Each structure stands twice: as C-alpha cells, then as structure tokens.
Amino acid sequence: MVRQFSDRFEVVALGCGANVELLSEQIAEFCPRVVSVIDAPTAGLLEDLLRSKSVRPPEILYGPDGYRRVAAFAEAQMLVSAMVGSAGLLPTLAAIHAGKDIALANKETLVAAGEVVTRAVTAANVKLLPVDSEHSAIFQALQGNHRKELNKILLTASGGPFLHASREELKTVSPEAALRHPNWSMGPKISIDSATLMNKGLEVIEARWLFDVPVDRISVHVHPESVVHSMVEYVDGSIIAQLGIPDMRIPIAYAMAYPERLHTRYPGLDLFRIGELHFYPPDVEKFPCLGLAFEACRTGATMPAVLNAANETAVHAFLEKTIGFYDIPAVIRKVMDSHSPCVEPDLDAILNADRWAREEASKIIEARLEKR
C-alpha cells in the first residue's frame, strides 16, 4: 500500500522478528527512522547487513521494549498491528496510550484482553479499525446503519485444507499438509489455526469485542470459495455482505485510508463467472477447537487468554512434530479445565493467565511425550 500510494503514506517505524534480510530491503526502500527486532544478537546481524549493503541504518531497537517504542513512535499516526499471537498485545496498547489509530491484524490482542483494549481505545479516543478480511467485511457492512438495528454477525470460514477430510484422516495429518491453505497465503501459525478452525474461533472472540455483540449473536458458516468475507443480519431480516477476491491488500487499504477507499490496481470480483457460492455448517466434532473458542468466549474473564496461550503452545509443538493434529484441542481442553478464571481481570491478571497457560500446556505436552 505504501509503495503504491507513496504520496499519501510513509513508513516511519518498523518492527519484525528475525528476518533481517527482508527488513534490510524494507529499510533501504522506505527509510524508516526506527526499527525493532526480536533480540540483541539479531539487532547486531541487522546492523552488519546494512553496513555490507551501504545502507544508512535507522535507530535499531530490540526486544519487548523495542517493540513498544516502535509502536508508540512520536511521528507515527497509525499503527498497523500485525504481530502473530499475544506478543502483539503490549505494543498495541502502547500505541493506543500514545494516541495512535490502530489498524488491527493481530486478533490475539482482543482475544486475550478485549475489555482492557477496548476501554483503552475509548479513553484515548482513537480508532480501532479491523484488518482481518472477515472483520473488515463486518465493519463495512455496518457503515450507514444504526448499530442498535444489528441482529446477528455471520462470520464466514473457508474450512481450511481439511474441509472434506475424515476424522480418521485428520489423526495422522502432517504439518506440511496443514500448511497448504486452499485460498490464502498466511504464516505457519495462522495456517495451522485455519486448519483446526481455531482461527475462526479466535475471530468470534475478536468480533465480540470489536462490535460489542454478545457471543450468542455470532455464528460461523463454512464458505469454501472465500468470496463472501462475512455478513451482518439486521432486525428486519435484511442481510448485508461484503464480497471480494481473497486478497488481504484490499482490507489493509480500507483500514489505512478509512473513511475513504483507495483506487487500487487489483482485479475486481467477477461474481457472474464464479456462478455458484456454497455455505455449510461447521463440523465442531471434527474441528473441536471452534467449540472450545465459543466456550472460552462465553466464560469470559481470563479464559480467552488461556485458550489463546494454550493454543499457541500446542500449535508450536505440532509444527515441531512433537504432537499430532488432534493433540492440539486435547491440550487446550486440559489447560482450560485446570484454569480458575479471574473475574474482571486487569492487564497483569491477563498476562499472568497467559504465562500460566503456556507453562501448563508445556507440562501436558511433555507428559504426553513421556507416555510414548
């Protein structure tokens, strides 16, 4: 978006993990004032790489404090929050407290701390604009209508790579198979979440906070074509949907330019050529992670943070081939059963619950390994 609309947008700060090769290319092209990476050794590697390319380095920060400083950088007006997992929570809150508008692609921020984050957004009087294609669709479908007239949110899900697989087949699927999403190009963690339908469960919790809608008025519908990105139903029975090709640049552009629409170069949707669209109810027995997310959302308090942290730990173990596909929901189930939710948690309580859930999930995984 910045490359295409360089007269309108400027990158003043960047944060990444450890991909210093790509970051060095972005620094050379966009000339940010400050960047942050995961740790001190990675910062040293980036500095050496920039020197070898004769690129003038920006200020290079690292670690959690570096990410918070980048997110709250004084010259920035908007933070595009796209870190994977609950690691995005504290930088996003730092940006909110610094008065930045948020283009939110990091759903775990609202999953883990929805009430804390939305309260901070209200206090800082900043915009919280969704970037996920589903939540962008809901946001667009709500424009020009009274929120009190909203009846239901209808979230669509592609169904992932295993939509038509049997339970028996899913018991032995590999991480490589789970990473092959039919419609979207995503990172490994989100791709596995899509395969288990946990990604849709997390989106349910995110929608509950973004749009202030009770979870019982949010439903999930499998839509393999990924053309209808989501829908809203109004009290008069009308349904408004947002449709488009499956390309994340479109919702990113909408959030960055809101309330305007940018004249992008991307192809439009030829709905008449497609001809048919299909919708199915999700199979929560085959994909139990979706049911666990609904349960965590109904319980509230610190349970969504525990769900998310246990899932992140289990997904990592699956990607490392330490556990199987169906071990992911089994680990999450055990962690949730062991948790006593903290009612009306503050940020410290949420962070403590996150830490506890990761430790508990790791213990459960280790115990499963010892039984092999």
Q: What is the pLDDT of residue 184?
A: 64
Q: Does residue 7 fall inside a structural domain?
A: no
Domain stops at, among 130, 160, 182:
130
Alpha helices in the chain (DSSP H): 20-30, 40-52, 63-71, 89-97, 108-124, 133-142, 167-170, 175-178, 188-196, 198-210, 249-257, 271-274, 288-299, 303-319, 327-338, 347-370
- Whether residue 319 sits in one domain with residue 176: no
Q: Give the Cα separation of 189 and 354 in Å (integer).
A: 17
Q: Does residue 264 fall inside a structural domain?
A: yes
Q: Does residue 8 fall inside a structural domain?
A: no
- Whether residue 241 sits in one domain with residue 224: yes
Q: What is the pLDDT of residue 370?
A: 81
- Whether residue 339 sits in one domain with residue 293: no
Q: Give the Cα separation of 74 and 31 in Å (integer).
A: 16
The CATH number given to whatever domain includes residue 351 is 1.10.1740.10
Model confidence, pTM: 0.94
- Whether residue 143 sits in one domain with residue 120: no
**347 Cβ partners below 8 Å, 6+ apart?**
93, 113, 116
- Whether residue 285 sits in one domain with residue 158: yes
Q: What is the pLDDT of residue 267?
A: 81
Range of the domain at 68: 13-130
Q: Does residue 105 fall inside a structural domain?
A: yes
Q: Give the Cα separation of 122 and 120 in Å (integer).
A: 5
Per-residue pLDDT of the chain (372 residues; tens, 9 = 90+): 999 999 999 999 999 999 999 999 999 999 999 999 999 999 999 999 999 999 999 999 999 999 999 999 999 999 999 998 888 999 999 999 999 999 999 999 999 999 999 999 999 999 999 999 999 999 999 999 998 999 999 999 999 999 999 999 999 999 999 998 776 667 899 999 999 999 999 999 999 999 999 999 999 999 999 999 999 999 999 999 999 998 899 999 999 999 999 998 888 899 999 999 999 999 999 999 999 999 999 999 999 999 999 999 999 999 999 999 999 999 999 999 999 999 899 999 999 999 999 999 999 999 988 877
Q: What is the pLDDT of residue 113?
A: 96
The CATH number given to whatever domain includes residue 52 is 3.40.50.720
Domain stops at, among 298, 315, 333:
298
Q: Give the Cα separation of 253 and 242 in Å (integer).
A: 15
| Per-residue buried b or exposed e for 204-221, using 16+ beta carbons within 10 Å of the residue's own CB | bbbbbbbbebebeebbbb
- Contact 266/249 with Cβ under 8 angstroms? yes
How many domains are contained in the chain?
3
